[in-house]
Structure 1
Amino acid sequence: MRILLTVGLTGLLAAPAFAAEMEISIEIPKLDVAEYHRPYVAVWLEGPDKKVAANLAVWYDVANAKKEGDKWLKDLRQWWRRTGRTLTVPADGLTSATRAPGTHDVKLDASHPALKDLAAGQYELIVEAAREVGGREVVRIPLQWPPEKGATAAAKGEHELGSVAVNVKP
C-alpha cells in the first residue's frame, strides 16, 4: 500500500506544468514630421482561416476625458474589421495608453486569458499601427503555439513600425 501511495504522489509531483511564454517586442520609430501623434497599435493572433484567435494588446488614447480616443480605434482598419468593433474598451489586461517612440515589450504566458484556451497550431502574430496625420502599417509574423522549442521571429516595418519580434519559449 505504501508503494502505491508513493508512486501516486510521485506521479502527481512529476507532472510538468504548462509554462509557455510569448514576448513581443515592438519598436515605434521616431519620425521627423511637423505634427507628431503617438500611434494607436493593435496586436493579435490569427489562425490559418484568417479569423482572430486572440487579442493580445491595444494601445490607444485611453485617458481622453471626452472618450474621443475610442472613435479613432477604427483607424486600425484590419483589427477593427476583424474584432475591434465587437470589443468593449477599455478591457482589463488588453488595452492601455499609446506609447512614445522606442522599443516596448508585451510579455504573456500560457495562463494569460488570451492564451490559456488557445488551441495548438500555426498562427500569425499581427501588429497594426495607425497614426493621426500619419500613416498606417501592418506587420505579420508566423508562429507556432504552444512552442515545442524556443524560437524567435522578426519583421520590420517601413514607416509607422520599426522592428517587431516575437520570442516564444516552451
Structure 2
Amino acid sequence: MKIGTLFCGFICALATTAVHAKSNLQLEVTIPRLQVAEYHQPYVAVWLENSQRKVTQIAVWYDIEMENGKGEEWLADLRQWWRRGGRKLSFPIDGITGATKGPGMHTVDFDLSKSLNQLPAGKYTLRIEAAREVGGRELLQIPITLPIDNKVLPLTVEGNTELGLVRLSATQ
C-alpha cells in the first residue's frame, strides 16, 4: 500500500508540475467609475488563503507616493487583509506593492511555477479587498483548488460598489 501511495504521489506531483510549468494565472480587477463628490482611488489587496487561513500575498495597491510613508497608515482600512497578515508586513514589498489604480480594468499577472508551485494541493480562497477614503469597503472571494485545472477557468465574481468584475483566467 505504501509503495502504491508513494508512486501515486510521485505521478501526481509530476502532473502538477507540468500544469504549473506551462500556465500562468491572470487576475483582472475592475475598479468602477463612481459618481461621487469626492473620489479617492481605492487601496486594494489581493491574497490567497488556505483553509487554515495561511496567507500568500499577491498584490497590495496603496498610495506609495505620500511623504514619510503616510500612505501605509491607511492600509488598516483593508480590514480583512490587515487581520490576515497585512499588519505584520514591512512596506514596500518588491513585486507585491504598487500604486493605487484609477477606474478601469487592471491586470495582476503571476507565474504559477513561482507563486503557487510551493503550495500544497487543496482548497484555497482568492480574496480581493478594496477600501476607499470617504467611500466604502468591499471584499470579494473566489474559491479555487490547487493545482488549478484550466478547464474550470475563467472564474469570475462581480462587486457591488468599490470593485467591479474580477476575473481569474489562465494564459500560456
Q: TM-score range by the shorter chain?
A: 0.7 to 0.9
Distance 1:73 1:143 in 2: 26
Moved over 3 A (4+): none
State the partner residue of 1:60: 62
Q: Partners in 2 of 1:66 and 1:92 — Cα distance?
A: 18
Q: Does 1:109 align with 2:111?
A: yes
Matched-pair contact (CA < 8 Å) for 1:147–1:168: no
Structure with more of its chain in helix, by fraction? 2
**d(CA) in 1 for partners of 2:68 and 2:31?**
26
After superposition, give the CA deviation of every residue in 1:43-99 in whole Å (9 maximum; x if it has no partner): 0011123x1331100000011122110000000000001110111110000000000
* Structure 1: unaligned runs, 5 residues or longer: 1-14
TM-score, normalised to structure 1, is 0.84
Asked if structure 1 preserves the Cα contact closer than 8 Å seen for 2:55 and 2:85, the reply is no
State the alpha-carbon separation in 1 of the partners of residues 120 and 24 from structure 2.
Answer: 15
Question: Equivalent residue for 2:134?
Answer: 133
Partner of 1:24: 27
Larger radius of gyration: 1
> Quick one: which amino acid aligns to residue 57 of structure 2?
N
Shift of 1:169: 5.8
State whether residues 19 and 109 of structure 1, in contact with CA within 8 Å, keep that contact through their aligned partners in structure 2: no
Paired with 1:52 and 1:38, the residues of 2 have a C-alpha distance of 28
Shift of 1:29: 0.3
Q: Taking every aligned residue pair, what percent have the same amino acid on both sides?
A: 46
Give the count of matched residue pairs: 154
Contact 1:123 1:143 in 2 (8 A): yes
Q: CA offset at residue 147 of structure 1?
A: 1.4
Contact 2:55 2:84 in 1 (8 A): no
8 Å contact kept, 2:31–2:162: yes
**2:124 corresponds to which letter in structure 1?**
Y
Task: Give deviations 1:122-170, integer Å, cap 9, x for gaps.
Answer: 2111000000000000000111222133411111110000001111468
State the secondary structure of the residue aligned to 1:70.
Answer: helix
Structure 2 gaps, min length 5: 1-16
Task: Give the structure-2-normalised TM-score.
Answer: 0.83
How much does 1:111 deviate?
Answer: 3.5
Pairing 1:25-104 to 2, within 5 Å after superposition: 25-49=28-52, 51-104=53-106
Distance across 1 between alignment mates of 2:111 and 2:161: 30
| Aligned residue number for residue 11 of structure 1 | none
Give the 3-state SS of the residue equivalent to 1:66 in structure 2.
helix
State the Cα distance separating 1:22 from its structure 2 match.
1.1
